[in-house]
Amino acid sequence: MTQEVEKTVVNSWNEWDDLKHVIVGRADNCHIPPAEPALDAKVPEDSDMRGQWGRRPQESIDHANELLDKFSIQLENRGIRVDRPTPIDFSQPVTTPDFYTASQFGCMPPRDVLLTVGSEILEATMSYRCRWFEYLCYRPLMQQYWEEDPNFRHEAAPKPRLTDEDYRPDYLSDKIGVEKRLEWAAKKFFVTTETEPLFDAADVLRFGKDLVVQHGFTTNEKGIEWLRRHFPNHRVHSVNFPGDPYPIHIDATFTPLRPGLILNNPQRRLPDEQRQMFNKNDWEIIDAAQPAHNAPPPLCYSSTWLSMNVLVLNQKTVCVEKSEVYQAEQMDNLGMEVIEVELRDAYAFGGGLHCCTADVYRESSFEDYFPKQ
């Protein structure tokens, strides 16, 4: 008997309600992109990636794909529909009238590109040149959803020019030092300028009526203002985390688990003056557990804090990377059922369990979790 495949409905308003349909990325053909201003600012100064670029070794690609496939099966076994992107040829350069870069990146982290808000999926502007065309990997799915769901709104933010004007030359050095970077981060002196709206989808967290957006390397103030005008029924809040010398993406820093509870990276605490909305509405912000590792895996952009880059399946169930024993223990103490997922060897391809997924459907609605503003 063939199982009847349910038609798509796009609907997801938050990070914690029952997940029923999700996109999981692929590692195929992933490249380490050549130097470019915004990317350089994120590669840690002591990283093994500095000065390297090109296609990642096939063996590591195959292994990462195995892990992503297994994760997909784990989700499917829990009744969650999983769709996968169609990788393009990332060895191709990106050429526009405004810039050239010699290769692209990959499509392991759909979270960076696709922002699902209710019945809408919005393609982010992105802020790296090598990621300018990444949305193409998701177009076959977007087209399918559009055919199947008459209420689906497929939107794309204006493609940015990404000329040199978008980036501060101050960051074009690998000898800035962490102290200086922290000073700059505290002053919100980030690598991206305010020339045009820029945002990555992974800088946005969805709390029903409220969208919380990180201002950092990948999202600028104009990007946040663009989101504010684009979602007029939402309240859009700008946050920043001064303890992070390489601030990109909010999902290894601030992780809501259920209404009323958020994990915060203890090295990147939300400043007091930005806590009011949470305090007033009795939300608790607690320190996340320490990562289990003291260094990221080889050729990885992300920090060890991918430990808190978890995927919440519902208010009682969470996927945690298998080696992240302290994070798993904390989840357990918080009353969550933990599903262990092996993914560490795929981190280098673009992140953790939250990064490598993008919501299509959660059993959720447009709720006001912060009536006291």
Nearest distance from C-beta of residue 356 to ligand DAV, angstroms: 9
For residue 366 the two structure tokens come to 């447009």
Stretch that binds ligand DAV, among 226-234, 235-243, 248-256, 359-367 (CB under 6 A): 248-256
Nearest distance from C-beta of residue 248 to ligand DAV, angstroms: 6
305: contact with ligand DAV by CB under 6 A:
yes
Which CB, 202 or 320, lies closer to ligand DAV? 202
Which CB, 8 or 219, lies closer to ligand DAV? 219
Stretch that binds ligand DAV, among 62-70, 152-160, 184-192, 300-308 (CB under 6 A): 300-308
Q: By rule CB under 6 A, what string of x and - marks binding of each residue 137-176 to ligand DAV?
A: ----------------------------------------
Residue 302 and residue 253 in contact, taking contact as beta carbons nearer than 8 Å: no
Which CB, 212 or 355, lies closer to ligand DAV? 355
Nearest distance from C-beta of residue 194 to ligand DAV, angstroms: 22
303: contact with ligand DAV by CB under 6 A:
yes
For residue 161 the two structure tokens come to 């020019």
Residue of 251, 321, 324, 359 that binds ligand DAV (CB under 6 A):
251
Residue of 25, 291, 351, 360 that binds ligand DAV (CB under 6 A):
351
Total Cβ atoms within 10 A of residue 27 = 26
Nearest distance from C-beta of residue 251 to ligand DAV, angstroms: 5
Stretch that binds ligand DAV, among 24-32, 161-169, 177-185, 243-251 (CB under 6 A): 243-251
SS in 3 state form for the chain? CCCCCCCCCCEECECCCCEEEEEECECCCCEECCCCHHHHHHCCCCCCCCCCCEECCHHHHHHHHHHHHHHHHHHHHCCCEEECCCCCCCCCCEECCCCEECCCCCECCHHHCEEEEECEEEECCCCCHHHCCHHHHHHHHHHHHHHHCCCCEEEECCCCCCCHHHECHHHCCCCCCHHHHHHHHHCCCCCECCCCCCCCHHHEEEEECEEEEECCCCCCHHHHHHHHHHCCCCEEEEECCCCCCCCCCCCCCEEEEECCEEEECCCCCCCHHHCHHHHHCCCEEEECCCCCCCCCCCCCCCCHHHHHCCEEEECCEEEEECCCHHHHHHHHHCCCEEEEECCHHHHHHCCCCCCCEEEEEECCCCCECCCCC
Residue 160 and residue 121 in contact, taking contact as beta carbons nearer than 8 Å: no
Q: By rule CB under 6 A, what string of x and - marks binding of each residue 183-222 to ligand DAV?
A: -------------------x--------------------
Which CB, 73 or 178, lies closer to ligand DAV? 178
Which CB, 248 or 310, lies closer to ligand DAV? 248
- What is the CA 109 to chain-centroid distance, rounded? 7
Q: Kindly list the catalytic residues.
A: 200, 249, 355
Instruction: Give φ, ψ of 159 to 5 degrees.
Output: -65, 130
Residue of 137, 211, 252, 343 that binds ligand DAV (CB under 6 A):
252
359: contact with ligand DAV by CB under 6 A:
no
249: contact with ligand DAV by CB under 6 A:
yes
Nearest distance from C-beta of residue 90 to ligand DAV, angstroms: 18
Which CB, 191 or 248, lies closer to ligand DAV? 248
Residue 204 and residue 190 in contact, taking contact as beta carbons nearer than 8 Å: no
Which CB, 254 or 370, lies closer to ligand DAV? 254
Count of residues engaged in binding ligand DAV, rule: CB under 6 A: 10
> Which positions lie near ligand DAV, rule CB under 6 A?
202, 248-249, 251-252, 302-303, 305, 351, 355
